[in-house]
Structure 1
Amino acid sequence: MAASRRRQSLSVIQQLQEAPYRFEFFQAVRTLERSVLLIGHDNAGAQAKVAFATEQLASGAPPGRELLRFYAQSSLSFIAADVLKLSSRELNSESNDQQDKSAGMAPDVLEQPAAHRREQELQKQWCMEVGFGGLIGSQGVMPYYMTEVVQRELKEKNAALKDFLDIFHHRNISLFYRAWHKYQLPVNYESARLRNTRDLDAFSQALASVAGLGTSEMRYRLPMPDEALYGMAGHLGRQQCSAAALASMIRQYFGLQVSIEQFQGRWDALPEDVLTRLPGPEAPLGVNNRLGTDTILGTHCFQAQNKFRVVIEPMAYEEHMAIAPGSEKLEALKSFVQLSAGIEMDFEISVSLYTGQVAPVQLATDNDNQPLLGWNTHMSSDHQYDERVEINLSADHVSPDEVLPAA
């Protein structure tokens, strides 16, 4: 609350209306667009109508439905700012009907009752007078006598000529803003998020394609937001993800101090058609039993290059419980590692904890102190020194709640 001798703080929109000359053109339009879309979200579940038009500028919608209507300055005075005036106007339903017909709206929409269509129409539209991009005025491209003609008509209460020229002013300035908007990454991302569209903006689409999430079938399938992967597209776009890159990405997003141990061997089962069998009832001559050619001893083969280990450094007990089996953070970590390394690589996650951090086991219903077998439970808490206990979680590890039968 403002003090008794201090003026009450104004919102950005109020400041823009009272002192538009203090704002730069692009930032003013961006602020209005954000304000209009946020108001539309607030009124989405209410009975009230949307206060202002929300269609994007130069997007093919009729000018009466765009979020902003531009006018150019029509005097020969010196212009000291980009934005000269900001106001709002009530939309006329009859004029909108004419604009809809001229814009080529579908006949079934035009045949709806006028009262029904009027209920669906928007009520207000922002109007901005700018000091550039006009056909007339001190900076206009047309001869000065055209400005004098417009001024003479305005003195006679005839705004037809100015309104006609403002049609071209609005289109020209809208395309100018749209051209700037097209190459601004933050503005494109902000506009797409505010409009709640599933279609990505151009920059997000490019980064998603580099990261391997360019198609709609690949999006929103991970337990972590796709937007978090766009900043890592440089690493994810490589054919092979290095150990240093994987550790760096995990530290950046998950906040975990990790190291990658490569070449962790594992035993893989061999297919039955390559196993050696001695002669018997099923195979009188045996199978793969020629010494030095196809004979194999055993049923498993040791692979040293298809598995690695993600070692998480010891952390506080609260952080340790945050990545317990079945937690959202652990599932997100496993999904991210698999996405980065590829499905052809196997991995395990090694989590360590010092015994001095673990409290004695107690049966409790508190979510923060629930005992989890193999995670935070120990048979005895009497240790001569603080031991480091390592817990290995496989890539396909499931939480106990998922394997227990339903009640």
Structure 2
Amino acid sequence: MMPSFDKSSQPKDVMLLEAQQQPWRHGFLTLMRMLDAHAKDAPHIGQSQRPQQDNFRLGQQASLAFAPREIARVVEKNGTPHIYLFGLGMLGPNGALPIHYTEQVRERTEARRDQTLANFLDIFHHRSFTHLYRAWAQSQAAAGLDRVEDEAFTNYVARLTGDEPSELRHSPLPPHARWASAAHRVRGPRDPEGLVSSLKRFFGVPVKLDEYRLQWMPIEPQDRCQLGMSNESAMLGLGAMVGEKVPDRQTRFCLTIGPLNMDAYLRLTPQGSASGKDLPALVELVRSFIGFEYVWEVELLIRSDTAPASTLGGGTQLGWSTWMDQQKTTTTKAITGMVLEPENYVLSH
């Protein structure tokens, strides 16, 4: 009887046992990825210098039939899993060697119980299959996350956007949330739709962007129009302007976020809530799109059925989470909460 794997609580042992009992339900790459993820102290599959560094063995099942599936069988020998494939090797109808080699290996293995030739060819099969898996894994972002300390795909995406991962370790915005928007940020012109899409995906709430908000920009004292001055700011038709401020609609926009429940609303306020603060992450994500070039504000909307009524001795705060004359309601109609410029609060802290 073929030795079986120990059916323990280890995911690796459970999956190997399932692959031994039902090999047709498993794929070669999936099984290799599982073995690679659980071998934390060993080199990556395909990067080992000696076969002894691999805690498994790969080989090919000598068969004259076209491969009906990837994995032929999985067995345990002296505590080491041996995984045999139908294809991808030198034998079989699709192999590199002439077909009579497959016949010879099959005849010696099954008729004479002699594994010598098969084991010799499996030395090369093991190396070839592990290199094949490594070539696949290096191009897969998800496979790189199985062993986070050696993950490299993040660096590729980060540098497309001009970011250095080592400099962003202490950022309030999670790294993968920042680089999930790389497709939008890698382009020269940044569009409002890309910013709104990234905010919606990260926070999971409705977001709307209102462009061309009116603001009054102060004029520097040396550029103001003053009588008796001989510079251009005092000459009609050149630089003379009336007043100390000028209207501007080109450099200011507003993000409307919501309607939100009470906890999500408080998380986006400068003081945050008991469950955490989202305002620093919001600022970092917006900065990654626009830098410091624009002035922007946030208008927070809250669902009326979650807004608390103002009572003496209650936990609401004036200017933050207080609404006068709030009647008990079951509707989800949005009411306006705080309107703030997040940059002012983040920079002040």
* TM superposition score normalised by structure 2: 0.74
Query: Equivalent residue of 1:240, what SS?
Result: coil
Q: Is 1:61 equivalent to 2:49 in the alignment? A: yes
Query: Which residue does 1:310 correspond to in 2?
Result: 255
Using the alignment, how far apart are the partners of 1:198 and 1:361 within structure 2?
55
Query: Which residue does 2:100 correspond to in 1?
Result: 144
Using the alignment, how far apart are the partners of 1:75 and 1:371 within structure 2?
75
Contact between 1:137 and 1:144, CA under 8 Å: does it hold in 2? no
Post-superposition Cα deviations, 1:116-138, rounded to whole Å, max 9, x if no partner, equal: xxxxxxxx653212222343567
Q: Is 1:265 equivalent to 2:253 in the alignment? A: no
Contact between 2:59 and 2:84, CA under 8 Å: does it hold in 1? yes
**Amino acid aligned to 2:71:** V
Query: Which residue does 2:191 correspond to in 1?
Result: 242
C-alpha RMSD of the superposition:
4.0
Using the alignment, how far apart are the partners of 2:103 and 2:270 within structure 1?
74
Deviation (angstroms), 1:167? 1.9
Post-superposition Cα deviations, 1:215-238, rounded to whole Å, max 9, x if no partner, equal: 335644542323234443332333
Inter-CA distance 25–354: structure 2 relative to 1 (3 Å threshold) = closer
Query: Which residue does 1:175 correspond to in 2?
Result: 131
Deviation (angstroms), 1:146? 7.6
Using the alignment, how far apart are the partners of 2:190 and 2:104 within structure 1?
68
Query: Which residue does 1:20 correspond to in 2?
Result: 23
Deviation (angstroms), 1:195? 0.8
Deviation (angstroms), 1:161? 4.5
Query: Which residue does 1:29 correspond to in 2?
Result: 32
Deviation (angstroms), 1:152? 4.9
Deviation (angstroms), 1:245? 3.6
> Who wins on radius of gyration, i.e. which is larger?
1
Using the alignment, how far apart are the partners of 1:244 and 1:158 within structure 2?
67
Contact between 1:275 and 1:288, CA under 8 Å: does it hold in 2? no
Inter-CA distance 65–264: structure 2 relative to 1 (3 Å threshold) = same
What's the % identity of the aligned pairs?
A: 20
* TM superposition score normalised by structure 1: 0.65
Query: Which has the higher mean CA deviation after the structures are superposed, 243-252 or 135-144?
Result: 135-144
Q: Is 1:86 equivalent to 2:74 in the alignment? A: yes
**Amino acid aligned to 1:250:** L
Q: Is 1:358 equivalent to 2:308 in the alignment? A: yes
Deviation (angstroms), 1:262? 1.4
Using the alignment, how far apart are the partners of 1:159 and 1:217 within structure 2?
51
Query: Equivalent residue of 1:301, what SS?
Result: strand
Using the alignment, how far apart are the partners of 1:351 and 1:61 within structure 2?
57
Query: Which residue does 1:340 correspond to in 2?
Result: 289
Query: Which residue does 1:103 correspond to in 2?
Result: none
Query: Runs of 5+ in structure 2 lacking a partner?
Result: 1-7
Inter-CA distance 32–299: structure 2 relative to 1 (3 Å threshold) = same
Using the alignment, how far apart are the partners of 2:192 and 2:75 within structure 1?
57
Using the alignment, how far apart are the partners of 1:277 and 1:149 within structure 2?
100
Deviation (angstroms), 1:295? 4.4
Query: Which residue does 2:4 correspond to in 1?
Result: none
Q: How many residues align?
A: 327
Using the alignment, how far apart are the partners of 1:154 and 1:355 within structure 2?
76
Deviation (angstroms), 1:83? 1.7
Deviation (angstroms), 1:344? 0.7
Query: Runs of 5+ in structure 1 lacking a partner?
Result: 1-7, 41-49, 91-123, 280-284, 365-369
